[in-house]
Amino acid sequence: MRKIFVFALSAALVGCFKVGPDYQRPQIDTPKQWRFADRQARDLSNTQWWEQLGDPALNRLVGRALQGNLDLKIAIANVEKYVGLYGTTRSNLFPQISGFGEYYRHQSTGQLGSQGTLGGKEYNLARLGVQMNWELDIWGALRRANEASMADLLSQEAVQRAVILTLVSDVAQAYVQLRALDRDLEITKNVVETLKEDLRIRKIRFQEGYTSELEVSQAQSEYERRAALIPQYEQSIAQTEHALNVLLGKNPGPIERGLTLDELKLPTVPAGLPSDLLIRRPDIAQAEQVLVAANARIGVARGQYFPRIALTGDVGQLGTQMGTLFTPGANFWTIGSTMLTPIFTAGKIAGEVHAAEATQKAALANYRRAIISAFREFEDALVGQQKTKEQRDKQANRVAAVANYFDLSRIRYDEGYTDYITVLDSIRQLFDAQVDLVQAQNSNLIASIDLYRAMGGGWIVQAEQKAGLPKPKEASVFP
């Protein structure tokens, strides 16, 4: 009865106390509103925003990336790894039961007998059974370790969602960049064809004596200059396609196209308060779970100051021969307890506690930095979206003005009111204006994508489910 009472008392003590500080979310100085808030913003941060661009080809690319991206596969495997590590840590809260079996023959040499012969003992011993070892978590150090391990697991799940967030944004931005390069190449080829025809006319006019060789040289110089840009754009297109294939987890090759750059629709500006980022951003969730784990490991370190108490026992069969096992008289059992407490460690435990506390301070600073960086990224994306839209509109007006300049310079040259250098200048300006407009359109679309990247959102979970990504298996209980 005394043993049962001691065991019950020890079990009752487990769970009543946990050494170390309990986690409390830090107070964060959150802005009340965004500095560059858009009045037409809508609460769309939880939708699959890339579908707003209206390009089925892009939608298919995003789906393939979620299925094949290797960084995402690594992140999924890391989550599986931390599920296993959590199971390992959690197991320390429970009894550890093992089976054993042994057989040996023993012989010892005794003292000299009365006749001068050696007397000795010789016997066999066989044992078969199970043994148990259970460390009682009276001080809560093991539960703190379990708490830290669960936070590590949640941190890895946040990393996986951050990979999805970055992956989808990178695919969309690379696709927009690819369509911008396609448009640049198209503009360049059109200008080169115009210059080629113009050069042919200048040569004919020179041969017939209507113009000087200077005009021919000017036309040929501009033609060669613009023609040299074609292989440059083709190289950039190929490299962008290769980069997209890496995101898809595929070997280099061509990329499917859909809408042109002009046909892509601008995503709606997502609405949300600064406090929403604390929930929607996976990198903030990861930083907080790292802080939770570091906080719990202070308790693990401090727990080493206290005695470690464990219950031990075994039960089985014992005999001098294998044949005598499994008989009524061969049963045996033992039960007991052990205690191990530190007396002198030369500052080892104090050093581990100090290191754990310092790690917690660093994790706290990292958490605050992640929040501030998130605020900055979204503000940057907001102002970027607004200002690139203004640039795009201005560049569109510029293209219209230069197109008129080009037409007028042609008419005035044909009528003899201006020189050929004015025509070439109008061609240069028209080409540059068209390319600058493409760059402004590209920048505006990428800034809009950055808005959704900076906001995060519930769409990440929806994307996981839609893509059918494998879910981590639960940690095994047996064995």
Q: Are residues 320 and 333 in the same domain?
A: yes
Residue 475 domain-assigned (yes or no):
no
Q: How far apart are CA 35 and CA 376, in angstroms?
A: 10
Tell me what pLDDT residue 12 has.
47
Closest listed residue to residue 191, CA positions, set 431, 411, 439: 431
User: From first to last of its 479 residues, what are the pLDDT tens digits of the chain?
Assistant: 455 445 545 554 555 678 999 999 888 877 766 655 655 555 666 778 899 999 999 999 999 999 999 999 999 999 999 999 999 999 999 999 999 888 777 776 655 555 544 455 676 778 888 999 999 999 999 999 999 999 999 999 999 999 999 999 999 999 999 999 999 999 999 999 988 888 888 888 888 887 788 888 888 888 899 899 999 999 999 999 999 999 999 999 999 999 999 999 988 877 766 777 778 889 999 999 999 999 999 999 999 999 999 999 998 877 776 666 677 767 888 889 899 999 998 999 999 999 999 999 999 999 999 999 998 998 898 899 899 999 999 999 999 999 999 889 888 888 888 888 888 888 888 999 999 999 999 999 999 999 889 888 778 888 877 777 777 776 665 56
Q: How far apart are CA 219 and CA 221, in angstroms?
A: 6
Q: How far apart are CA 265 and CA 50, in angstroms?
A: 10
Residue 8 domain-assigned (yes or no):
no
Residue 4 domain-assigned (yes or no):
no
CATH code, domain with 244:
1.20.1600.10
Residue 128 domain-assigned (yes or no):
yes
Closest listed residue to residue 385, CA positions, set 271, 303, 306: 271
Q: How far apart are CA 216 and CA 207, in angstroms?
A: 10
Q: Are residues 438 and 330 in the same domain?
A: no
Tell me what pLDDT residue 317 has.
79
Tell which of 317, 340, 363 closes a domain: 340
The pairing of strands 308-319 and 331-340 is antiparallel
Tell which of 315, 340, 365 closes a domain: 340
Q: Are residues 318 and 293 in the same domain?
A: no
Q: CB of 216 within 8 A of CB of 201?
A: no
Q: Are residues 332 and 461 in the same domain?
A: no
Question: Could you say which DSSP state residue 50 is in?
Answer: G
Residue 45 domain-assigned (yes or no):
yes
Q: Are residues 155 and 263 in the same domain?
A: yes
Handedness of CA 241, 244, 249, 255 (dihedral sign): negative
Element (H, E) at 345: none
- Please classify residue 434 by burial: count the beta carbons closer than 10 Å to its beta carbon, then call 0-12 exposed, 13-18 middle and 19+ buried: buried
Residue 347 domain-assigned (yes or no):
no
Alpha helices in 131-212 (DSSP H): 141-207
Tell me what pLDDT residue 322 has.
63
Q: Are residues 276 and 161 in the same domain?
A: yes
Q: Are residues 85 and 102 in the same domain?
A: no
CATH code, domain with 313:
2.20.200.10
- Count of domains observed in the chain: 2
Q: Which residues contact 242 (CB under 8 A, 6 or more apart)?
A: 252
Q: How many CB atoms lie within 10 A of CB 65?
A: 25
Residue 345 domain-assigned (yes or no):
no
Tell me what pLDDT residue 151 has.
95
Tell me what pLDDT residue 349 has.
92
Tell which of 340, 363, 387 closes a domain: 340
Q: Are residues 228 and 106 in the same domain?
A: no
Q: Are residues 209 and 270 in the same domain?
A: yes
Q: The domain containing residue 242 runs over which residues?
A: 17-93+139-306+355-467
3-state helix/strand/coil string of 420-452: HHHHHHHHHHHHHHHHHHHHHHHHHHHHHHHHH
Question: Could you say which DSSP state residue 415 is in?
Answer: T
Q: CB of 17 within 8 A of CB of 138?
A: yes
Q: Are residues 273 and 336 in the same domain?
A: no
Question: Could you say which DSSP state residue 270 is in?
Answer: B
Q: How far apart are CA 298 and CA 148, in angstroms?
A: 10
For residue 296, the one-letter residue type is A
Q: Are residues 396 and 435 in the same domain?
A: yes
Q: Are residues 172 and 246 in the same domain?
A: yes
Residue 263 domain-assigned (yes or no):
yes
